[in-house]
Amino acid sequence: MMISDLEAVALRMFEERGFSAVTVDEIAAEAHVSARTFYRYFPSKEEVLLVRIDRRAQALRVALSGRPVPEPVLHSVHVALENALAAEDTALRGSSQRQPSRRFDPFPVGRSGRHGR
């Protein structure tokens, strides 16, 4: 089993049952590995989430570094987020049978920027 497979099993279980309701032993059993193997890849259950956060942060850094310097900052962040998450969504769909996630909207409050004022 590869680390990405073990991560996918854990994340699916967290989504289905909630993070606190899932144990390392249950993740290992579902992934058909021992708890010892789980700990070889992840020092703790929380570390599974940190891997995803680190990967997303790196993808965002790469996407932002490719934006033109004179571009407005908020537009750069918006486009970089869309690109980074679109790439992640494609990778996730390729590695699992889950339904595609909803399109990410980094500005869900409203387009005016006034946030209800």
Domains and CATH numbers, the chain: 3-95 (1.10.357.10)
Residue 91: HSE in the Cβ half-sphere, 13 Å Cα cutoff: 13
pLDDT at res. 101: 45
For the CA atoms of 9, 100, 113, 71, the dihedral, rounded to the nearest 10 degrees, stands at: 90
Q: What is the pLDDT of residues 38-78, one digit of tens each?
A: 999 999 999 999 988 888 899 899 989 989 999 999 999 99
Cβ atoms 33, 1 nearer than 8 A: yes
- Give per-residue pLDDT as tens, 27-43: 999 999 999 999 999 99
| CA distance linking residue 45 with residue 34, whole number of Å | 14
pTM over 0.85, yes/no: no
Q: How far apart are CA 86 and CA 14, in angstroms?
A: 22
